[in-house]
Structure 1
Amino acid sequence: MSSRSHSSRDPEKRAHYDARPSNEDPERMVGKISDFEDHEVFRQDADVNFRTVGWPRASVIFLKVIFATGVLSIPVAMASLGAVGGALSVIGWSALNTYTAVIQGDFRNKHPGCHSIADMAREVGGNWAKEITGALFIVAYVLCTGSGILGVSIGLNALSTHAACTVWWSFIATIVVAATASVRKFHQIGWLTWAGFASIFTAVLIVVIAVTTRDRPASAPQTGDYELGYYVIAYPTFAAGMVASCTIFVSSAGTSAFLPVISEMRNPRDYRKALFLCMGIVTAAYLSFSLVVYRWCGTWVASPSLGSAGQTIKMVAYGVGLVGLIVSACLYLHVAAKYCFVRLLRKTRHLQENTWVHWCTWLGLTFGLASISFILAEAIPVFNYLLALTGSICFAPLAITLPGWLWLHDHKAWVKGNALQQMAYWFHVFLIPLGAFFLVGGTYGVILEIIDAYATGLIGAAFSCADNSGSVSSS
Structure 2
Amino acid sequence: MDEKAAAITYTHRDTSKAGHDDLNGPGHGRYDTEHDVFGNEDDHQIQYKTMSWQLVAVLMIAEIVSNGMLSLPSSLAVVGIVPGVILIVFLGTFATFTSYLLVQFKLHHPEVHSMGDAGYILFGRIGREVLSLGTIIFAVFATGGQLLAGQIALSVLSDQKLCLLLYTGIFAIPTLVFSLPRTLDRLSWLSVPSVISILVAGIVGMVAAGINPVPNRVIDVAVSSDFTTAFFSITNPVFAYAGHFMFFILISEMRNPQDAMKAAYTLQIFATAFYTVFAIVTYFYIGSTVASPSFSSLPPVWAKATYGIAIPNFLIAGSLYSHTAAKLVFVRFFRRSRHLHEHTLLGWGTWAGLILIMNAAAFVLAVGVPIFNNLIGIAASLFAAWYTYGIAGAFWMHDAYYFHGKMHALKKYWMMTIASMLTIVAGGFICVAGMYVSVKSIVVAFNEGTLAEPFSC
- Following TM superposition, by how much is the alpha carbon of 1:91 offset from its aligned partner in structure 2, in angstroms? 1.0
Cα distance change of structure 1 residues 215 and 119 upon mapping to structure 2, 3 Å threshold: closer
Q: Distance in 2 between matches of 1:420 and 1:83?
A: 40
Q: Which of 160, 168, 179 lines up with 2:166 in the alignment? A: 168
| Paired letter, 2:429 | F
Partner of residue 252, structure 1 = 241
Give CA-to-partner distance per residue, 1:309-348, whole Å, 9 cap, x none.
1111111111111111111111111111111111111122
Partner of residue 452, structure 1 = 444
Partner of residue 213, structure 1 = 211
What 5-or-longer segments of structure 2 have no aligned partner? 1-17, 23-28
TM score, norm. by length of structure 2: 0.88
SS at match of 1:184: coil
- Following TM superposition, by how much is the alpha carbon of 1:417 offset from its aligned partner in structure 2, in angstroms? 5.5
Q: Distance in 2 between matches of 1:155 and 1:382?
A: 20
| Paired letter, 1:430 | L
SS at match of 1:189: helix
Partner of residue 443, structure 1 = 435
Q: Does the Cα contact within 8 Å between 2:206 and 2:281 map onto a contact in 1? A: yes
| Paired letter, 2:96 | T
Answer yes or no: is 1:304 the counterpart of 2:293: yes
Q: Which deviates more, 329-338 or 36-45?
A: 36-45
Cα distance change of structure 1 residues 441 and 418 upon mapping to structure 2, 3 Å threshold: closer
SS at match of 1:187: helix
Partner of residue 471, structure 1 = none
Partner of residue 190, structure 1 = 188
Give CA-to-partner distance per residue, 1:87-145, whole Å, 9 cap, x none.
11111111111111111111111110111121111111111111111111111111111
Q: Does the Cα contact within 8 Å between 1:247 and 1:391 map onto a contact in 2? A: no
Q: Distance in 2 between matches of 1:402 and 1:89?
A: 20
The 5-angstrom pairing of residues 61-460 of structure 1 reads 61-216=59-214, 228-379=217-368, 385=374, 388-412=377-401, 413=405, 415-416=407-408, 421-456=413-448, 459-460=451-452
Q: Distance in 1 between matches of 2:123 and 2:411?
A: 28
Cα distance change of structure 1 residues 439 and 38 upon mapping to structure 2, 3 Å threshold: closer
Partner of residue 37, structure 2 = 40
Number of residue pairs the alignment of both structures matches = 429
Cα distance change of structure 1 residues 153 and 247 upon mapping to structure 2, 3 Å threshold: same
Q: Does the Cα contact within 8 Å between 1:75 and 1:305 map onto a contact in 2? A: yes
Cα distance change of structure 1 residues 380 and 292 upon mapping to structure 2, 3 Å threshold: farther
Partner of residue 3, structure 2 = none
Give CA-to-partner distance per residue, 1:336-383, whole Å, 9 cap, x none.
111111111112211111111111111111111111111222256689
Q: Distance in 2 between matches of 1:381 and 1:274?
A: 37
Cα distance change of structure 1 residues 422 and 121 upon mapping to structure 2, 3 Å threshold: same
Partner of residue 473, structure 1 = none
Partner of residue 48, structure 2 = 50
Q: CA RMSD in A?
A: 2.4
Q: Distance in 1 between matches of 2:420 and 2:334?
A: 35
Cα distance change of structure 1 residues 386 and 211 upon mapping to structure 2, 3 Å threshold: farther
| Paired letter, 1:43 | N
Q: Distance in 2 between matches of 1:288 and 1:462?
A: 37
| Paired letter, 1:399 | T
Q: Distance in 1 between matches of 2:372 and 2:238?
A: 15
Cα distance change of structure 1 residues 432 and 418 upon mapping to structure 2, 3 Å threshold: closer
Q: Distance in 1 between matches of 2:235 and 2:388?
A: 12
Q: Does the Cα contact within 8 Å between 1:43 and 1:51 map onto a contact in 2? A: no
- Following TM superposition, by how much is the alpha carbon of 1:384 offset from its aligned partner in structure 2, in angstroms? 6.8
| Paired letter, 2:191 | T
Q: Distance in 1 between matches of 2:90 and 2:332?
A: 34
- Following TM superposition, by how much is the alpha carbon of 1:61 offset from its aligned partner in structure 2, in angstroms? 0.6
Cα distance change of structure 1 residues 42 and 169 upon mapping to structure 2, 3 Å threshold: farther
Q: Does the Cα contact within 8 Å between 1:73 and 1:384 map onto a contact in 2? A: no
Cα distance change of structure 1 residues 457 and 85 upon mapping to structure 2, 3 Å threshold: farther
Q: Distance in 2 between matches of 1:402 and 1:305?
A: 32
